[in-house]
Amino acid sequence: MSVTEYFSSDYAEARKKFIDAAREAGATHERFVNPEKGPNGEELSTDIAWLGPRDADNVLVTMSATHGAEGFCGSGVQVGWFKSGRAARLPANMALLQIHAINPFGFAWIRRTNEDNVDLNRNFVDFNHPLPVNDGYVKYQDIICPKEWSDEIAAKTSAEIDRLIEELPPLVMQGAVSSGQYVDPNGVFYGGTRPTWSRKTLGTIIETHLTSRKRVGIIDYHTGLGPRGYGERIGDGGPGNPAWDRAQDWWGDLTSSDDGSSTSAPLHGTNLNGMVALMPGVEVTSIALEYGTRPLHDVLLAVRSDAWLHAYGDLNSDQGRAIKAFVRDAFYQDADDWKQMIWSRGIDTQEIALARLAD
Ligand SMILES: [Zn+2]
């Protein structure tokens, strides 16, 4: 199987490739069925594969489709890791846990968010406490998420957002759009009102497989920010935070969304933060591996048009199909050169983590 064949053209194909590759490599498979169905009526699930001793002290975790439509990327690396014969070289006292499609609904329906239009990477907040406030989102809500949609409205609002990105201090407008908001259920980067199915599923996986380990590494695969094909390693927290510093020592080229060194604005309720909190006493070293696709202008437009489509539009119209094709392209560059770049950086990142965990 060549590198480009590790990648799939839809969720169902990706799921099948993952399970087949995991079994071939000798991993055990477990399935968590999502209550919703895919666009072709197919069953949706998060599938996990465990390779290595059950009592291993150290575990590397990989995760795909935190943002559903970004799942093509992470799935490809996960499948490739199994297919490329690396299972035989897993270091001693070490296990690999690959979590495939933690947000299967978003993967199948080609959207970042889940079945409730919730962004899993903004959902890990404490809902028993006051929720984060994003004044910028409220201020620019009518521009970010207009209730009517056409090519003209898309162009006009995009130009306005571009102007504000340019005029305001770095990452302020991007933060207003993308840092997370808890007030507009039809809007973008919505964090929800309660833990989502995906968050609860992740909690079960962590409780069952990870809380008793000594050391855990996590690589969460994302797409949509930065130069096309380049994989930015974004640490959790920032310099001075022991977990961030450790990750920097492992990988050497970390950025932080907290200090302006990343292409990402500071975020609320991220899953890496939430996962770490579920493993007290375990030394967790985690990154988001964020690959570029298209310019930020296009990616924001894709997210905004998709939010409108699911809230107010018709998925089965020409307009709906055009938006979906645009969203897919914004998160998955279905091209051989891009897949090669994803694979080589992804596998390098995983191999470094395995070597450091085994040290
Ligand atoms: Zn993402």
Tens digit of each residue's pLDDT (9 = 90 or more) over 29-44: 999 999 999 999 999 9
| d(CA 328, ligand 1 centre) in Å | 13
Q: Give the pLDDT mean for 14-31.
A: 98
CA–CA separation, 71 and 103 (whole Å): 8
| d(CA 356, ligand 1 centre) in Å | 25
Evaluate if residue 72 carries a pLDDT over 90.
yes
Q: Coil, helix or strand for 100? A: strand
| d(CA 152, ligand 1 centre) in Å | 27
Q: How confident is the model at residue 333 (pLDDT cuts 50, 70, 90)?
A: very high
Q: What pLDDT is stored for residue 131 in this prediction? A: 96
| d(CA 246, ligand 1 centre) in Å | 23
**How many residues appear in the chain?**
359
Q: How confident is the model at residue 287 (pLDDT cuts 50, 70, 90)?
A: very high
Alpha-carbon torsion (108, 79, 276, 55), positive or negative: positive
- Is the full-model pTM beyond 0.95? yes
- Backbone region of residue 294 per phi and psi (left: phi > 0; alpha: psi in -120 to 50; beta: other values): beta
Whose tokens are 């559903």? That residue is: 68
Q: What pLDDT is stored for residue 10 in this prediction? A: 98
Name 59's bridge partners: 95, 216
Q: What pLDDT is stored for residue 34 in this prediction? A: 98
CA–CA separation, 251 and 204 (whole Å): 29
| d(CA 120, ligand 1 centre) in Å | 9
Q: What pLDDT is stored for residue 237 in this prediction? A: 87
| d(CA 288, ligand 1 centre) in Å | 8
User: At the fourth CATH level, which superfamily is domain 3-128+191-294+330-358?
Assistant: Zn peptidases (3.40.630.10)
| d(CA 55, ligand 1 centre) in Å | 31
| d(CA 224, ligand 1 centre) in Å | 7
| d(CA 53, ligand 1 centre) in Å | 31
Q: What pLDDT is stored for residue 278 in this prediction? A: 97
Whose tokens are 């809500």? That residue is: 141
Whose tokens are 């975790």? That residue is: 61
| d(CA 112, ligand 1 centre) in Å | 7
Q: Give the pLDDT mean for 163-168.
A: 95
Q: What pLDDT is stored for residue 77 in this prediction? A: 98
Q: How confident is the model at residue 115 (pLDDT cuts 50, 70, 90)?
A: very high
Helices (H), 194-241: 197-209
| d(CA 125, ligand 1 centre) in Å | 17
| d(CA 66, ligand 1 centre) in Å | 7
Q: How confident is the model at residue 260 (pLDDT cuts 50, 70, 90)?
A: confident
Where in the chain do CATH 3.40.630.10 domains reside?
Answer: 3-128+191-294+330-358
